[in-house]
Structure formats: structure tokens, C-alpha cells
Amino acid sequence: MVNNAATVGRSGVHDFILIRASAIILALYTFFLVGFFVTTPDVTFEIWQAFFGNICTKVFTILAILALLIHAWIGVWQVLSDYIKPALLRGGLQFFFSVLLLVYFAAGLLTVWGV
């Protein structure tokens, strides 16, 4: 088997499992947020701030952001490796999306933890 350093997992099976696990985490996070909106009659700034001030919500949000980034990276890698054949262009696009996803992660951390 050929290992590719550009994938998140060690193989296609590992990437498949990561995609499914990240999708489950994102679905659970969606249900979590929907549950909040269903059970809260009026969402004010103070209620929203208290909701995201809870450590469990912060940790779950960061976990969801990580799941989203893993999900996105594997998808981007698969699309680029399938449809972009010139290695230089594919490498440049992979670098661009890697930096973009790191910026999204940093923005998520700053937003959630308020640093």
C-alpha cells in the first residue's frame, strides 16, 4: 500500500472512519444547538453569552470546529487529487486550503475562548 502524506489518516479506511466520526460529531453539535433554541423561549444576548460561557459548550464547540476542519480537509484533498492533475497546481491549492483551514481554526479559538 502506498501512503500519502497529504491525507489526514494513514489510509483510505482511516480517512473513511474520520469522515464518519466527524460527521457524527457535527450532527450531535447541530442537535445540541437546535435543542438550545427549542428549549429557550427568548434568546437574548445575556442568555446566549451564558450558554457559550459554559465550559461544556466551549469544549463541544471546539470539538465541532476540529471535526469540521478534518471533514473539510479530507474532502478538499479528495477533490483536488481526483480533479487537479498538475502536481504543482494541486500542491499550491492544498497549501492554500491548509493555511485557510488553520486560519479558520484560529478564528474559532479566538471566538470561543475570547482571547
The CATH number linked to 83 is 1.20.1300.10
Q: Which residues contact 68 (CB under 8 A, 6 or more apart)?
A: 22, 26
* Position 1 in a domain: no
* Position 35 in a domain: yes
* Position 29 in a domain: yes
pLDDT digits (tens, 9 = 90+) for 44-99: 999 999 999 999 999 999 999 999 999 999 999 999 999 999 999 999 999 999 99
User: Has residue 5 got a pLDDT over 90?
Assistant: no
Q: How many domains does the chain have?
A: 1
**Phi, psi of 52, deg, nearest 5:** -85, -5
Average of pLDDT values for 90-114? 94
**Phi, psi of 11, deg, nearest 5:** -155, 180
* Position 51 in a domain: yes
**Residues of the domain holding 21:** 12-113
> Apex CA 103: angle with CA 99 and CA 108, to 5°?
150
Query: 105-114 long-range CB contacts below 8 Å, 24 or more apart?
Result: 105/65, 105/66, 105/69, 108/61, 108/62, 108/65, 109/62, 109/65, 112/52, 112/58, 112/61, 112/62, 112/65, 113/58
In this prediction, residue 2 carries a pLDDT of 46
Does residue 104 have a known ligand-binding role?
Answer: no
* Position 2 in a domain: no
pLDDT digits (tens, 9 = 90+) for 11-52: 788 999 999 999 999 999 999 999 999 999 999 999 999 999
pTM confidence score: 0.84
* Position 82 in a domain: yes
